[in-house]
């Protein structure tokens, strides 16, 4: 299954990691120079969550950002009967 958010459609994106050397101009140097560009992937923080949709509990892959925002409604936790102490 792909790493895709069911709400926003966020997915793994491709970018580069730049390696630099030198001292910045504002610190008295001649400037930073790029010495390498390596491909890398940026992965969203996708979590599997149980979500209530139209009264049914469904498992979805959702970005953590949307879980924090409260955009998904989690099911109510069931209360288990507590064991009575033996007499």
Count how many domains the chain has.
1
Tell me, yes or no, whether 83 lies in a domain. Answer: no
Tell me, yes or no, whether 74 lies in a domain. Answer: no
| Cβ neighbour number for residue 46 with a 10 Å cutoff | 20
Which of residues 87 and 36 earns the better pLDDT score? 36
Range of the domain at 50: 13-69
Tell me, yes or no, whether 2 lies in a domain. Answer: no
Tell me, yes or no, whether 4 lies in a domain. Answer: no
Tell me, yes or no, whether 37 lies in a domain. Answer: yes
Tell me, yes or no, whether 76 lies in a domain. Answer: no
What confidence tens digit (pLDDT) does each residue in 43-87 have? 999 999 999 999 899 999 999 999 999 888 888 888 887 767 766
Tell me, yes or no, whether 48 lies in a domain. Answer: yes
Tell me, yes or no, whether 87 lies in a domain. Answer: no
What is the reported pLDDT for 81?
A: 77
> What is the total residue count of the chain?
87
What confidence tens digit (pLDDT) does each residue in 12-21 have? 999 999 999 9
What is the reported pLDDT for 1?
A: 63
């Amino acid at each position: 299954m792909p790493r895709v958010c069911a709400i926003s459609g966020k997915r793994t994106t491709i970018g580069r990691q730049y390696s630099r050397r030198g001292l910045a101009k504002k610190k008295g140097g001649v400037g930073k120079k790029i010495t390498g560009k390596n491909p890398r992937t940026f992965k969203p923080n996708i979590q599997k969550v149980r979500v209530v949709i139209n009264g049914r509990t469904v498992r979805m892959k959702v970005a953590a950002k949307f879980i924090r925002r409260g955009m998904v409604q989690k099911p109510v936790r069931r209360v288990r009967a507590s064991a009575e102490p033996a007499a």
